[in-house]
Structure 1
């Protein structure tokens, strides 16, 4: 996940020892960042739901930090214009990635529902099913291209620098930037998760695993990716790598898993998006006063 690594290497500004009399809201922001940092390596649908929830808490805290007189005074100062512009640019970057994630989930869900519809019909023809499967897989390729394009654009835009001023103001600015960097990292990781690996390289091994193990719940949850599993099961169905009845059962099971996964992620992203908008509006309001 190269792009995420670039973000992490380009900026990591948490102070090693916050002042003993630090504002409690700043301390709370630091605690939220620590919790998110501790969960960076987990990459399952349930872990992303948790991360999105923690990001909401983080940006709720950021909104409180923006209400502090210290923050408002620092943002209003002309000599801090460069760092304020970076905060505004960063908020747009996170919003753009959230929009890409929301669009990707919506497109996947729409094609998934069409596939579910044909599987529920009695007497569906094999040609009709195969065409619907191919349509879904073609849609996934479009989603994957859009995600990779958005990540490439984001990699070229990320230019966060470290703020240098008095200790209290520096701590505040750098933590606000780290909040944005953490948001970018999580959203970026989510996009890689939704994109999934190239299905042709993992399709048959994953289909074999799903068919021969009677329950998906026994699979290794640390590597669980409902999007990749769905893609692989559909490739197996189209290429008749297993008996048709077994493969259709796998597909139906994966459709149910994917539907729940998408619902959780959509809800988390929508709530996060509202928090991000609130933060950006707060920044703009401070600048306009």
Structure 2
């Protein structure tokens, strides 16, 4: 199996299409951020860890933005021999934007269903009559969300294969950008798996080349740290038992899930804007 882009150390040896120096503070910061992503691959997926990864991704893209402003960087990307590699990065950015859209839609849909259930529970003031139908609607919506997430996983795998191809000459700038893309894929995978919940465990192999260590996943631990999954588990327990005593627990879990989703939405939206900016900058460079 080919090595993951995350596991390939960037080469900054001197050449016409390389970065000016490995010791440049911006390239050093990018290296440092990429190393942090590699080191965190074996960490468990939770709302706090996923939110932290999104925040780190924002920092990483801020440094990428500075990197793309360098004249030598722009010269390297504009060279004819880099055309295929630059197109690969641009194609990858489109996939990443699409996956971000899937994640945003999944979070929004889950939040709306969560809020609707909370509203129903408040109106019924603890009563359970007819509540089962509303819970089933929520669970049906989750199935549709998982279907969209499964498609996003497949798109990530396809993009991974294309990025690892040897077409075109790859200099230090492209190598760095590809590693940034790989780190982004890993974070988005974690986010999608968090949203999807325990059933996502069967889909880890779709992007195992990027996040092989994370495929050793502990479902028991995930259930303790995933607010969205906890809310779903509470709802399933209520449907199974029909016990009014479970309603309070359902309300608490739904509230925790909503707060978690709001935090993730904010982090994802902030990163999404940076991803768009990076893509536009590269397009402007190659189209000058």
TM surpasses 0.5: yes
Structure 1: runs of 5+ lacking an equivalent: 1-5, 200-218
Write the distance in 1 (CA, Å) between the matches of 2:12 and 2:278. Answer: 26
Residue of structure 2 equivalent to 1:15: 10
Write the distance in 2 (CA, Å) between the matches of 1:12 and 1:69. Answer: 28
Q: 1:221 to 1:238 in 2, by over 3 A?
A: closer
Write the distance in 2 (CA, Å) between the matches of 1:252 and 1:234. Answer: 9
Write the distance in 2 (CA, Å) between the matches of 1:31 and 1:10. Answer: 16
8 A Cα contact 2:114 2:254, kept in partner: yes
Residue of structure 2 equivalent to 1:288: 287
| 1:226 aligned onto 2:227 | yes
For 1:55, which of 54, 57, 60 is the aligned residue? 57
Structure 2: runs of 5+ lacking an equivalent: 15-20, 201-219
Residue of structure 1 equivalent to 2:66: 64
Three-state SS of the structure 2 residue aligned to 1:198 is helix
Aligned length: 260
Residue 198 of structure 1, CA deviation: 3.4
8 A Cα contact 1:44 1:222, kept in partner: no
Write the distance in 2 (CA, Å) between the matches of 1:14 and 1:175. Answer: 9
Computed over aligned residues only, the root mean square deviation of the Cα atoms, in angstroms, reads 2.6
Residue of structure 2 equivalent to 1:184: 185
Write the distance in 2 (CA, Å) between the matches of 1:173 and 1:21. Answer: 14
Residue of structure 2 equivalent to 1:160: 163
| 1:104 aligned onto 2:106 | yes
8 A Cα contact 1:163 1:174, kept in partner: no
TM-score normalised according to structure 2 size: 0.82
TM-score normalised according to structure 1 size: 0.82
8 A Cα contact 2:61 2:275, kept in partner: yes
Residue of structure 2 equivalent to 1:244: 244
Write the distance in 2 (CA, Å) between the matches of 1:135 and 1:7. Answer: 43
| 1:193 aligned onto 2:202 | no
Residue of structure 2 equivalent to 1:90: 92
| 1:265 aligned onto 2:264 | yes
8 A Cα contact 2:6 2:182, kept in partner: yes
